[in-house]
């Protein structure tokens, strides 16, 4: 049986800005186990990236506030309450980048443009290990090679702007796995890449996860991306998890109207029917919505849906859904 690695228990969080308060996360209940692969899916603004960044405290404070619940990282048998650790304290810094790592959406904004690839990787490795400068350089080049970066010795000396988008993403992967993390968050790792490179990057992430037996959380807006990548899927909508289950359950037996709508909107080569776009759009994050977060876009919404937030109910085979009509 797998051990628990990261737990979100009834987490609610908000952003406090000049424009108002957003209900960014609502009643998030999620457990990530050692070695598992999980896909987090949903439209932009549904809380996917915030959920991942909360685990390593990469959110602006004090504008971002956790209003209830807790996030617990299980570290060598010792639970660490991530919410209560100091954002830039010694404990969270020793976890961030070493035990929990992240591949960001756009490496151009995540990598320094004024430092070489090698200097950035070397600094990260030396911060989290006992390696000296030469050992860290050798290890960094080895990690670049593992990430299938051609001419790794040359790329080590290059700057970010000298590399293509796909190559920059490979560098990000090499950095993310260089300290052998227990958990890797991949936040839209194929954004802005062409289809061929997307497939290569996803294949690389899957191979690395298997080789290092680390847990993987793949964040995307595209259900097609996670279909062959993960064991389980959590579907997010407006800060709620509206459905959770195995990949087979979610793709072949979806229960929530939002999940069904996402699947119906995926184009295929063999479909003869017109695509069915989801009507409406995600509500303004500052809007105060009562009832089910999806009721305004749902054809099956009842008065009860408009008045009450459905509970997150576990059905047969562990399939979970937040819907009165499911």
Q: How far is CA 163 from CA 150, 151, 155, 201, 313, in A?
A: 11, 12, 8, 15, 47
Bond prior to 278 in cis (omega within 30° of 0): no
Q: Model-level pTM?
A: 0.92
Q: Which pLDDT tens digits describe the chain residue by residue (326 residues)?
A: 789 999 999 999 999 999 899 989 999 999 999 999 999 999 888 999 999 999 999 998 889 999 999 999 999 889 999 998 888 888 999 999 899 999 987 766 778 889 999 999 999 999 999 999 999 999 999 999 989 899 999 999 999 999 988 899 899 999 999 999 999 999 988 877 788 888 888 899 999 899 888 999 999 988 888 888 999 999 999 999 999 999 999 999 999 999 999 988 877 766 666 677 788 888 888 888 899 999 999 988 899 999 999 999 998 788 999 999 88
Cα 74 from chain centroid (whole Å) = 18
CB atoms within 10 A of CB 36: 18
Q: What pLDDT, on the 0 to 100 scale, is given for residue 66?
A: 94
- The pair of structure tokens assigned to 219 is 């964040």
Q: What pLDDT, on the 0 to 100 scale, is given for residue 141?
A: 96
Q: What pLDDT, on the 0 to 100 scale, is given for residue 282?
A: 84
| 3-state secondary structure (DSSP) of residue 91 | helix
The number of helix segments (H) and strand segments (E) in the chain equals 12, 12
Q: Dihedral of the CA atoms 261, 265, 269, 274 (nearest 10)?
A: 100
User: Domain range for residue 51?
Assistant: 4-230
| 3-state secondary structure (DSSP) of residue 73 | strand
Number of domains in the chain: 1
Percent composition of the chain: helix, strand, coil (DSSP 3-state, to 5): 35, 25, 40
Q: What pLDDT, on the 0 to 100 scale, is given for residue 86?
A: 84
Domain holding 65: CATH number?
A: 3.40.50.300
Tell me if 255 is assigned to some domain: no
Q: How many residues does the chain have?
A: 326
- The pair of structure tokens assigned to 183 is 């958990």
156-163 contact pairs (CB < 8 A, 24+): 156/116, 156/117, 156/118, 156/121, 157/116, 157/117, 157/118, 158/116, 158/117, 159/113, 159/114, 159/115, 159/116, 159/117, 160/107, 160/108, 160/111, 160/112, 160/113, 160/117, 161/113, 163/117
Tell me if 262 is assigned to some domain: no
Tell me if 163 is assigned to some domain: yes
């Amino acid at each position: 049986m797998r051990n628990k690695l990261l737990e979100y228990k009834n987490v609610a969080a908000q952003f406090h800005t000049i424009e108002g308060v957003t209900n960014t996360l609502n009643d998030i209940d999620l457990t990530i186990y050692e070695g598992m692969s999980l896909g987090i899916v949903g439209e932009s603004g549904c809380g996917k990236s915030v959920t991942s960044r909360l685990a390593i405290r990469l959110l602006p404070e004090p504008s971002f506030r956790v209003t209830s619940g807790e996030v617990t990282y299980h570290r060598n048998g010792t639970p660490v309450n991530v919410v209560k650790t100091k954002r830039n304290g010694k404990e969270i810094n020793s976890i961030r980048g070493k035990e929990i790592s992240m591949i960001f959406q756009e490496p151009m904004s995540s990598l320094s443009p004024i430092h070489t690839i090698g200097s950035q990787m070397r600094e990260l490795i030396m911060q989290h290990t006992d390696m000296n400068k030469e050992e860290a350089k050798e290890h960094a080049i080895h990690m670049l090679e593992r990430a299938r970066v051609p001419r790794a010795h040359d790329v080590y000396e290059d700057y970010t702007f000298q590399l293509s988008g796909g190559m920059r993403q490979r560098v990000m992967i090499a950095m993310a796995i260089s300290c052998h993390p227990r958990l890797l968050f991949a936040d839209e790792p194929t954004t802005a890449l062409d289809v061929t490179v997307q497939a290569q990057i996803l294949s690389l992430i899957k191979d690395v996860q298997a080789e290092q037996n680390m847990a993987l959380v793949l964040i995307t807006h595209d259900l097609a991306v996670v279909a062959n990548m993960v064991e389980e899927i959590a579907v997010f909508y407006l800060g709620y998890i509206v459905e959770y289950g195995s990949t087979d359950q979610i793709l072949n037996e979806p229960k929530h109207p939002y999940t069904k709508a996402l699947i119906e909107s995926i184009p295929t080569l063999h479909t003869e029917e017109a695509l069915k776009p989801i009507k409406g759009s995600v509500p303004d994050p500052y809007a105060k919505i009562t009832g089910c977060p999806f009721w305004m876009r749902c054809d099956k919404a009842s008065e009860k849906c408009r008045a009450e937030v459905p509970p997150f109910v576990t059905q047969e085979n562990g399939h979970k859904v937040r819907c009165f009509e499911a």
